[in-house]
Chain A
Amino acid sequence: MVALASNIFTFQTYFALAIFVLAFSFIISEKLPNAVAAMMGGFLLLAFHIIDQEDAVEYIDFDTIGLLCGMMITVAVLRKSGLFEYIAIKGVKITKGNPWKILVVLSIVTGVLSAFLDNVTTVLIIVPLTFAVADTIKINPTPILFSEILFSNIGGAATLIGDPPNIMIGGATHLQFMDFIIVNGPVILIVSVVTIFILRLIYYKKLTSIQVDTARLMAFDEKRTIPDKTMFIQSMVVFTLIIVAFVTQHVHQVSLASIALGGGFLMIMVTRQHPEEILKEVEWPTLFFFAGLFVIIGGLEKTGVISMVADKMISATNNQMGLATQLVLWVSAMCTVFINSIPYTATMISVIKDIGEITTGNIDPLWWALSLGACLGGNASTIGAAANIIVAGFTQKTAWPIKFGQYFKVGFPLMLVSVIIVSVYLHLVFFFWGS
C-alpha cells in the first residue's frame, strides 16, 4: 500500500485523472453527448501513450457490451410483436378504470418489464400509453408517471439484465443471473410493497375521488396491438428461450454476451426480420459510451488511482466488510441522485475489484451494495437515471410537465426509505445471519 502511494503521482496519473474528471464533467453537464465525451477521453489516453492499444482493448468489457447489444436486438424485435402494449392495455382494462388501480397495475407492469428489458425502453413504451389512458379518462397522469419512474428503477434492480449497473456488475464479476434474483429479488419485492404503500398514502384519496368515463377506456382493443400473430408467438418462444438460458447459466456456463447476442440473432432469424432494420434500432451511442468509459477507467487503473481509492476505502472502514458494504451502498445511492449511474458504476467496479485483490474476505456484499445503491439512488430525482430523464422530458411538451422539485419531494424520501430497507437487508443477510 505504502509503496503504491509513494510513486503514484506521476505525469501519467495526473493526465489520466484529468481526462477522467473532464469526461465526467462533460457527461454530467451534458455539454457533450455521452458517447463523444467517453470516446474522446479514451482516445486522448491512447494518443498520449498513457495506455497502449492492447491494454485499451483489454480494458473494454466485451461481456457487458455484448450483453447490452444482444438485449437491444432482442427488444427491437420484441417491440414489433406488440406484446408490451398488449400486457399494459389488458392490465389497465382489468382495473375497470379506477385511477388508483391503474397506478398499481401500470407500476407493476413497468417493474416487471424493466426487470427484463432496459428501463429506458420500458418507459418509452409505458409512458405514452399512460398518457393515452389518462387522456381517455381525463385524469392528471402525474402520480402514475412518478410511480412508473420509481418502478422502472426498482424493477430494474431485480435482475442482472434489468439495469445498466447490474449488467456491468454481471459482466465484470463471477455473479450470475440467478445470483441477482436470489439476492436482489427479495429485497426488491419488499421495497416495491413499501413504495406502493407510501404512494397509497399520498395519492389514494386524490385518485379515487375522480369520476371517470370508463366506457371509453373499455373501448380499448388490446388485440389490435398484435399485428402478426405468428411473429408474436415466434418472438415469445425465442424470448422465453433466452430467459431460460440466463436462468440456467450456472449449468451451461455460456457467457452473458453470447446468450444475448445468440438469442438476438436467433430472434431475427426466426421472425425473418431484416437485420439492417433491426440493427438500426441498437443504441450504438450507448455501446460506444461504455467502450470509451472502460478505456478511461482503464487509464485510472493503470496509473494507480483506482488502487489508491481502494486503499482509502479499506482504511476508512478499518477493513470491516460490514462497514464497507454500508459505505458503498450509501455513497452509491447519494452519488447517483444527480450523476449518471453508468460512469459511477464503471469506476466503482474497478475499485471493488481492487479491494477484492487486497483483502482476503468475501467481497460479494460490496457488489450487491453497489448494484442496489446505484439502481435505487437514481429514483431520487428526475435526472437520477436515464429513464427518469426520458419521462420528465416527454412530459414537458404536454399539459402535465413534471418539474424537478415536484418530483424530488416524492422521489427523494422514497429513495431514502428504499435504501434504508436495503441497508438493513444486506446487514441481516450477510453479516447477521451470514456470520
Chain B
Amino acid sequence: MKLVRDFIIKDISSVTENSPVRRVIKNMRLHRVSIMPVVNKLGEYIGCISEEDILEAAVPDYMKKIYNTSFMANIDQIIAHLTQILDDKAIALTDVNYPYVTPDDSLEYAADILYRTKGNMLPVLESKKLVGLITLIQILSVSIE
C-alpha cells in the first residue's frame, strides 16, 4: 500500500490568519497552487483557502441567484467586488473544515477525498503542524511509474 508520506511536497507556502486576501492570491500565483494553507501565529494549521473560496466571496449574492447571468458579460462586477475584499483578512475566507490527510494515510484515501471534493490538492498535517501538500497529479502519476 502506498502512503501519503512518500509523496508529500514539502516546499510549500502558507499564509497567516491576518494576511490580506491580496497576499493569498499573490502566493497562489507565485507557487502555482490552487489552495493556500492558513496558519496561526504559533504556526499551527487552521484551514485552507481555495481558489473557489475566493471566487465564491467575489461573486455577488445576487449573481448567484440569477438563472443566467450571461447578459452581464460586458460588466466587471466580479472583479469590482474582488477588489473590495483584497484587504480583508485571510481568516474571513478560510475554510476550517477543508479536508486534510496525515503522512500515514494511504494514497487511495487521499484520492477518494479529492474525488469527492472535486479538489486537486490536500494539506498534509502531522498533529497540528502543516508538513506539506499532496496533489492529485502525483496520485494519478503513480499508475504510469
Contacts and interface: CB of A to CB of B under 8 A. Distances in A.
Interface of A: 79-80, 82, 85, 89, 124-125, 127-129, 131-132, 135-136, 216, 219-225, 227, 394, 397-398
B73 A125 contact: no
Interface stretch (B6-14, B61-69, B85-93): B61-69
Contact of A227 (B61, B63, B68, B73): B68
A219 B67 CA distance: 19
B62 A128 contact: yes
A102 to B, nearest CB: 15
B77 A136 contact: yes
Interface residues of B, number: 16
Given A85-B68, A227-B68, A136 B62 contact: no
B43 interface: no
A108 B75 CA distance: 25
Interface in B38-97: 60-63, 65-75, 77
19 contacts: A85-B67, A85-B68, A89-B71, A124-B65, A125-B67, A127-B65, A128-B65, A128-B66, A131-B61, A132-B60, A132-B62, A135-B62, A219-B75, A221-B70, A221-B71, A225-B68, A394-B61, A394-B65, A398-B62
A97 B69 CA distance: 19
A326 B66 CA distance: 41
Given A216-B75, A219-B75, A220-B72, A131 B67 contact: no
A220 B71 contact: yes
A222 B65 contact: no
A125 B62 CA distance: 10
Given A128-B62, A216-B75, 13 more contacts: A82-B67, A125-B67, A127-B62, A127-B65, A129-B62, A131-B60, A132-B60, A219-B75, A221-B73, A224-B71, A225-B68, A394-B61, A397-B61
A125 to B, nearest CB: 7
B66 A129 contact: yes
Nearest to A223: B71
B75 A220 contact: yes
A128 B68 contact: no
Contacts of A79: 67
Contacts of B67: 79-80, 82, 85, 125
A145 to B, nearest CB: 11
Contacts of B74: 219-221
A89 B63 CA distance: 14
Contacts of A80: 67
Contacts of B69: 132
Given A136-B75, A221-B73, A224-B73, A131 B68 contact: no
